[in-house]
Amino acid sequence: MTGDVAIRALRADEAEPFLALRKAADAQSRYLLYGAGERRTTVEEQARAIAELLGSGNSTILVAEAEGRDGAGSLVGYLIAKGGGAERNRHAAEIVVAILDAYTGKGIGARLFGALDEWARGAGVTRLGLGLMDGNVRARALYEKMGFREEGRRKAAFLLEGGFVDEILMYKLPSSIL
Ligand SMILES: CC(C)(COP(=O)(O)OP(=O)(O)OC[C@H]1O[C@@H](n2cnc3c(N)ncnc32)[C@H](O)[C@@H]1OP(=O)(O)O)[C@@H](O)C(=O)NCCC(=O)NCCS
C-alpha cells in the first residue's frame, strides 16, 4: 500500500528538499553514480539546474511525497527525465531514478514510471533511455516490468568497491508500445 505517498512534479522552489533527498539516496544506495557525501552541489546550483530543466519543455522531475504525521510532506523518491538539447534529440530523454530505502518495494518505482509515460505523451517525448549498473537486479526488474529493453553495454563503465562493473543501457519507445 502506498496510499500515503503521492506522485507529483517537483516545484521550482523545492531545491533544498530535493537536494537533501538526492544526498540521502546517494548515501543509501551503492548503485547510484555518487557515493555518500560525494555530491557537492549547492542549493543555489540545484535551484538553477531545476529551473533550467523545468524550463526546457522536454524534461521533468517527478517526486514521491510521503505524508508526515504533522500533515507536512517529505520527499522520498525522484525520477528525473532530461530531454536532449538539439532539434535532433529533443524527442529523447534520459532517466535517473532513486527511492529512499524505507520506501522501496512498495510499487513507488512503478508509479513514478507510470507518471513518466503520461508526461512523455504530453511533452512529445518518444524515446526514453537509461543506464544501470550490472547487478542492480531490483532496478532491472522494475525497468523490464515498465517496458524497457536492453540495447547494449558499456564495458567497465564504473569502478564499484574495487571492481569494474558494466553499465547496461536500456530503452523504451512509448509511442510504439502504448
Ligand atoms: C530501483 C528502484 C527505483 C526500484 O523501485 P521500487 O519502488 O523499489 O521497486 P520495487 O521494489 O517495487 O521492485 C520493482 C520490481 O522488482 C522486483 N524486485 C524487487 N526486489 C528484487 C530483487 N532483490 N530481485 C529481483 N527482483 C526484485 C519486484 O518484485 C518488483 O516487481 P513486481 O512489482 O512485479 O513484484 C528503487 O529500489 C531504488 O531507488 N533503489 C536504490 C537506487 C537505485 O538503484 N536506483 C536505480 C539506479 S539505475
* pLDDT digits 0-9 by tens, 83-111: 999 999 999 999 999 999 999 999 999 99
Position 178 scores a pLDDT of 47
Does the CB atom of residue 29 touch ligand 1 within 6 A?
A: yes
- Contact between 168 and 127 under an 8 Å Cβ cutoff? The reply is no
Q: Which residues contact 161 (CB under 8 A, 6 or more apart)?
A: 30
Does the CB atom of residue 81 touch ligand 1 within 6 A?
A: no
- Contact between 96 and 80 under an 8 Å Cβ cutoff? The reply is yes
Q: Percent of the chain, pLDDT > 70?
A: 96
**Minimal-distance CA residue to ligand 1 atom 14:** 142
SS3 content of the chain, % helix, strand, coil (to 5): 35, 35, 30
CA 129–ligand 1 middle distance (angstroms): 17
Report pLDDT digits (tens) over 51-68.
999 999 999 999 999 998
Sorting pLDDT into bands at 50, 70 and 90, what band is 176?
Answer: low
Does the CB atom of residue 139 touch ligand 1 within 6 A?
A: yes
Report pLDDT digits (tens) over 116-138.
999 999 999 999 999 999 999 99
Terminal CA-CA length for the chain? 26
> What are the structural domains of the chain?
5-177 (3.40.630.30)
**Looking at the predicted structure, is the pLDDT value of residue 43 above 90?**
yes
